[in-house]
Amino acid sequence: MLAAARSFALIGVEAREVQVEVHVGPGLPAFSLVGLPDAAVRESRERVRAALVNSGFKFPQQRITANLAPADLRKAGPSFDLAIAAALLAASEQLEPRRLERLALAGELALDGSIRPVPGTLAMAEAAGRRGSEAIAVPSANAPEAMLAEGARVIPLERLAELASLGTDQEPEPPPAPGWGPNNARPAGPDLADLRGQPYLRYALEVAAAGGHSVLIVGPPGAGKSLAARRLPSILPSPSRSEALEVLRIASASGRSPRLGLPAARPFRAPHHTISTAGLVGGGSPPRPGEVTLAHRGVLFLDELGEFSREALEALRQPLEEGRVTIVRARHAIELPCRFMLIAASNPCPCGRGEESGECECQPASVRRYRAKLSGALADRIDIAISVERPTAEQMAAAPATDSASVRERVVAARELQERRMGPGRCNAEIGLAELRRVCRLGATAKPLLADGHATLGLSGRGHDRVLRLSRTIADLDGSERVSDDHVAKALTLRRRGPR
Amino acid sequence: MNDRAPVWELGQGERGYPRSLLHLGDDAPGQLFGCGDRELVGGLAMDHTVTIVGSRRPSSYGLRVAEELGRVLAGAGLVVVSGMARGIDAAAHRGALAGGGPTIAVLGGGPDVVYPASERRLYSDILRAGAAISEAPPGRRPESWSFPVRNRIMAALGAMTVVVEAAQPSGSLITARKALELGRGVGAVPGPVTSRVSEGANGLIADGAPPIRDAQDVLDRLLGVGMTEAGRRGPALETSLARVAELVELGSRSCDGLATASGMAPGEAAVALARLELLGYVSVDADGRYARTALLPPD
């Protein structure tokens, strides 16, 4: 007999529908699995056999063929177990085939018949709704996440035996959908109040957060570079519901936090500088999201920027410019979202002490190589650069300055202005060339100042646009629609300067 | 190379032709071609002009000294002349630009031909703040013989020629000899006696040239002992800006340091620094570290 069940393969962070067909026919007892399965999928045969037997079902002593269609799509991971088991039950007349109609299934089987969580449930539940499935059966641990998708009813399963209850009144109830309320009152993570002294560094972070601008902080060790960077998420606005869904979809697809509901904070990723290119931008086989994608809608912090491999930094170019990564494989190309804010920190030279200190032991050539990395691939996309010094003992002892909550209020207000101007989820860092003139209107006194900057400071075309974007953000922080000369002046000081 | 800068021309005897070149007598170039600031070349005062030359393969010591000389001398209001060659020449130009002063590159090819091509960025910076001149017509590629020949122009333009690292023999020494023939001052930066690239400069000192230890040694000879600037004065400053300029001079080199030292809000400090930079009172390096230029506020 022949039966089919629906499941999903995870390609990057998207779910692609896979039809699981099982044929049980006469012949020597055998169980073969076809349709480009990887090792984990092939081993599914053993899990299905044991799980069926241990759940009180019979494993048919006949010739069993399972096919995963489309056959040219490479299937990976154990999430097809449940669908294979269900189709096998239907094909061996232990389950009514019509119960599998308009139902999708995803889950990994344990040998005792219980169902383990799988990555990507949110994307699968969304795909199920889009593809016209009425319901999707998922591991109960993944159910809260699946409930966030619209369209398909979620059936949380603890054990394989519960398949028998599908379509009856014993069917497990879906759990309550996880709540979601944007909570801008509570900043996430460590607080900006820990940053002593360094008023300008705080100011630069505030402007960066308000416009989503990328930042480079240069200074000797102990100047509070990473301390500051790690406090950036605490002054960013909470993600909107749709942004939070994107973040969760990625986290889920990469096998992180499957039990959590919608994240209230933006992701913060700080990969070590020894990271490979594939680890940073995504890759491998099957392709997995890299750090840039995990930082989607959040912050990517690259500490010791000069120590990252040149190749890895070069690879950041496309993600930074386009907000997505394309990974091309022989059979297909996958696209991963990666709209993140970059914050990078670096020592002034390889030894970290800096030429100024008089103790620097670096060779001029090695300093040049180091600096070339800072001004190389990423440079075009970094708007703000600031130089920091070690705070003095006096500053360390000073009373803490304002905390994240008050800074965040101003940031949220500025972002609201930007969204009103440009549409939801957009910020000044993304202003395109076409919009620049319209969005960044200069006041009467600001124009000559910028022209002056052009003539005296040798601003390049790119530098000019960077100043326009930054001054727009600074004006937004002031709640001003017009960009004044003071706004431009502040932007001129904050902007990242080209190499001499 | 197709976005060449516009070229102007100065004939011998024409208004604006540098008088110092006439000292070359029959050797004075009949025509001078240039790109960039024509007024600068026209208004060139010999006693406020210094020529810095040196090796194309310098040590990091030489580079540092040349850049520092260029920076301080330009900041003091002198015009720094050099040949834009890789190494010392380029460092001197770079220093002069960082010091906020004008600088003139005397090229071997046409004034619109960037040679060496790797100094394209420097070339465009020089055109923005100064000029490139040559006796070769626009578009002419430099030949190996054109460099020693242009050296006489460099020697004639400056009241003093400073040699920072030069091997024996070298083009820099040709320039120094020409300067001596013209009765100009010649100074040399002392280097390690074991260094091949300092042989020429040390040799000049042994022959009686004054050792140049820092920019003040040059200023002492050109402007008089103890003089620190050629009297360039900038536009008037508001009290608050003047105070910020003073704080930068006293050692507030970052925006953070300034905000802390002055008690200003960081935003205000940023505004003040941007305005001072635009007026030429402070300069910034690529890291965003500020320094006071030699520009003086008006009396």
Residue A180 confidence class, pLDDT cut points 50, 70, 90:
low
pLDDT of residue A44: 92
Q: Which residue has the tokens 């030069």?
A: B166
From B270's Cα to the closest Cα of chain A, the distance in A is 5
Question: Model pTM?
Answer: 0.73
Contact B62, B165 (CB under 8 A): yes
pLDDT of residue B238: 87
When pLDDT is averaged across residues B50-71 and rounded to a whole number, the result is: 93
Bridge partners, A344 (sequence order): A216, A302
Domains of chain B plus CATH, in order, are: 7-223 (3.40.50.450), 239-292 (1.10.10.10)
Written as six digits, the tokens of A137 are 């059966």
d(CA B257, CA B10): 48
When pLDDT is averaged across residues A158-170 and rounded to a whole number, the result is: 87
What are the chain A neighbours of B260 within 8 Å (beta carbons)? 197, 199, 395
d(CA B174, CA B146): 13
Helix runs in B166-212, H state only:
171-181, 199-206
Written as six digits, the tokens of A46 are 């053993």
Bridge partners, A328 (sequence order): A333
Which of A44-53, A174-183, B2-11, B162-171 is the least confident region?
Answer: A174-183
Contact A117, A148 (CB under 8 A): no
pLDDT of residue A500: 43
Contact A13, A336 (CB under 8 A): yes
Q: Which residues are within 8 A (CB) of A294 and not within 5 positions of it... i.e. 6 or more apart?
A: A250, A251, A254, A256, A267, A269
When pLDDT is averaged across residues B255-272 and rounded to a whole number, the result is: 88
Q: Which residues are within 8 A (CB) of A373 and not within 5 positions of it... i.e. 6 or more apart?
A: A305, A306, A308, A310, A313
Cβ of A195: how many Cβ atoms within 10 Å?
20
**Among A200, A218, A500, beta carbon nearest to B259:** A200
pLDDT of residue B93: 95
> How many Cα atoms occupy the beta-carbon half-sphere of A321 within 13 Å?
12
Contact B134, B109 (CB under 8 A): yes
From B235's Cα to the closest Cα of chain A, the distance in A is 14
Q: Which residue from A58, A50, A157, A173 is spatially nearest to A113, judged by alpha carbons?
A: A50
B143 reaches A (C-beta below 8 A): no
Residue B231 confidence class, pLDDT cut points 50, 70, 90:
low
Task: Give the mutation candidate from B287, B290, B295 for the A interface (greatest A CB count, under 10 A).
Answer: B287
**Would you say how long chain B is, in residues?**
299
Written as six digits, the tokens of B206 are 């042994």
Residue A85 confidence class, pLDDT cut points 50, 70, 90:
very high
Inter-CA distances, B81 with B36, B106, B117, B151, B161, Å: 14, 7, 19, 11, 9
d(CA B115, CA B95): 19
Residue A498 confidence class, pLDDT cut points 50, 70, 90:
low
d(CA B255, CA B252): 8
pLDDT of residue B53: 95
pLDDT of residue A212: 93
Which of A288-292, A492-496, B62-66 is the least confident region?
Answer: A492-496
- Asked whether the CA dihedral B175, B176, B179, B184 is positive or negative, the reply is positive
d(CA A472, CA A481): 8
Cβ of A401: how many Cβ atoms within 10 Å?
16
When pLDDT is averaged across residues A175-179 and rounded to a whole number, the result is: 73
Percentage above 90 pLDDT, chain B? 55
What are the chain B neighbours of A363 within 8 Å (beta carbons)? 60
Task: Give the mutation candidate from A305, A368, A387, A407 for the B interface (greatest B CB count, under 10 A).
Answer: A387
From B179's Cα to the closest Cα of chain A, the distance in A is 31
Q: Which comes out higher in pLDDT, residue A75 or A258?
A: A75
Instruction: Say whether pLDDT at B191 is over 70.
Output: yes
Instruction: Say whether pLDDT at B232 is over 70.
Output: no
d(CA A14, CA A253): 8
Q: Which residue from A429, A217, A214 is spatially nearest to A305, judged by alpha carbons?
A: A217
Residue B2 confidence class, pLDDT cut points 50, 70, 90:
very low
Q: Which residue from A438, A448, A447, A435 is spatially nearest to A481, judged by alpha carbons?
A: A438
Q: Which residue has the tokens 């990328």?
A: A214
**Would you say how long chain A is, in residues?**
500
Domains of chain A plus CATH, in order, are: 2-165 (3.30.230.10), 210-390 (3.40.50.300), 403-500 (1.10.8)
Residue A437 confidence class, pLDDT cut points 50, 70, 90:
confident
Instruction: Say whether pLDDT at A182 is over 60.
Output: no
What are the chain A neighbours of B100 within 8 Å (beta carbons)? none
> How many Cα atoms occupy the beta-carbon half-sphere of B81 within 13 Å?
29
pLDDT of residue B101: 81
Instruction: Say whether pLDDT at A184 is over 60.
Output: no
Q: Which residues are within 8 A (CB) of B272 and not within 5 positions of it... i.e. 6 or more apart?
A: B240, B241, B244, B258, B264
Instruction: Say whether pLDDT at A181 is over 60.
Output: no
pLDDT of residue A205: 94
| Best-predicted range by mean pLDDT (A145-149, A357-361, B7-11) | B7-11
What is the per-residue burial (b if ≥16 Cβ within 10 Å, else e) of B93-117? Answer: bbbbbbbbbbbbbbbbbbbbbbbee
Instruction: Say whether pLDDT at A296 is over 80.
Output: yes
Contact A250, A13 (CB under 8 A): yes
Contact yes or no for A492 and B260 at CB 8 A? no
**Among A356, A493, A500, beta carbon nearest to B94:** A500
Task: Look over chain A and give the mean of its residue pLDDT values, rounded to a whole number.
Answer: 87
pLDDT of residue B227: 67
Instruction: Say whether pLDDT at B180 is over 90.
Output: yes
Question: What single string gives the DSSP state of each residue in A392-448?
Answer: PHHHHHSPP---HHHHHHHHHHHHHHHHHHH-TT--GGG--HHHHHHHSPBPTTHHH
Cβ of A259: how many Cβ atoms within 10 Å?
11
Question: What single string gives the DSSP state of each residue in A173-228?
Answer: PPPPPPP----TTS--SS-GGG--S-HHHHHHHHHHHHHT--EEEE--TTSSHHHH
> How many Cα atoms occupy the beta-carbon half-sphere of A137 within 13 Å?
34
Nearest CA in chain B to A486: B271
Contact yes or no for A389 and B254 at CB 8 A? yes
Q: Which residue from A406, A424, A405 is spatially nearest to A415, judged by alpha carbons?
A: A424
What are the chain B neighbours of A387 within 8 Å (beta carbons)? 254-255, 287-289
d(CA A339, CA A294): 10
Backbone angles phi, psi at B243, to 5 degrees: -65, -40
Which of A349-353, B74-78, B90-94, B181-185 is the least confident region?
Answer: A349-353
Which of A168-172, A373-377, B211-215 is the least confident region?
Answer: A373-377
Residue A355 confidence class, pLDDT cut points 50, 70, 90:
low
Contact yes or no for A199 and B270 at CB 8 A? no
pLDDT of residue B175: 94
Q: Which comes out higher in pLDDT, residue A199 or A457?
A: A199
When pLDDT is averaged across residues B262-285 and rounded to a whole number, the result is: 88
pLDDT of residue B163: 96
Interior CA angle at A276 toward A257 and A266, to 5°? 35
**Among A200, A388, A498, beta carbon nearest to B269:** A200
Three-state DSSP state, A139: strand
Residue A356 confidence class, pLDDT cut points 50, 70, 90:
low
Taking only the tens place, the pLDDT of each residue in A216-252 is 998 888 888 999 999 999 999 988 888 888 998 998 8
Contact yes or no for A395 and B260 at CB 8 A? yes
B259 reaches A (C-beta below 8 A): yes
pLDDT of residue A393: 81
pLDDT of residue A344: 93
When pLDDT is averaged across residues A390-400 and rounded to a whole number, the result is: 78
Contact yes or no for A490 and B274 at CB 8 A? yes
**Among B60, B266, B287, beta carbon nearest to A387:** B287
Nearest CA in chain B to A456: B278
Nearest CA in chain A to B100: A456
**Among B60, B125, B271, beta carbon nearest to A486:** B271
When pLDDT is averaged across residues A418-424 and rounded to a whole number, the result is: 90
Taking only the tens place, the pLDDT of each residue in A262-279 is 777 889 999 999 999 999
pLDDT of residue A215: 93
Q: Which residue has the tokens 């460590």?
A: A190
d(CA B93, CA A69): 69
From A454's Cα to the closest Cα of chain B, the distance in A is 10
Q: Which residues are within 8 A (CB) of B226 and not within 5 positions of it... i.e. 6 or more apart?
A: B220
**Among B125, B253, B287, beta carbon nearest to A218:** B287
pLDDT of residue B230: 65
Instruction: Say whether pLDDT at A499 is over 60.
Output: no
Instruction: Say whether pLDDT at B103 is over 90.
Output: yes
Nearest CA in chain B to A453: B278
Residue A405 confidence class, pLDDT cut points 50, 70, 90:
confident
Contact yes or no for B266 and A202 at CB 8 A? yes
d(CA B147, CA A38): 69
What are the chain A neighbours of B287 within 8 Å (beta carbons)? 218, 348, 385, 387
What are the chain B neighbours of A373 within 8 Å (beta carbons)? none
- Looking at residue A177, its amino acid is A
When pLDDT is averaged across residues B175-182 and rounded to a whole number, the result is: 93
What are the chain B neighbours of A492 within 8 Å (beta carbons)? 274, 277-278
Q: Which residue from A190, A381, A203 is spatially nearest to A268, judged by alpha carbons?
A: A190
Contact yes or no for A500 and B285 at CB 8 A? yes
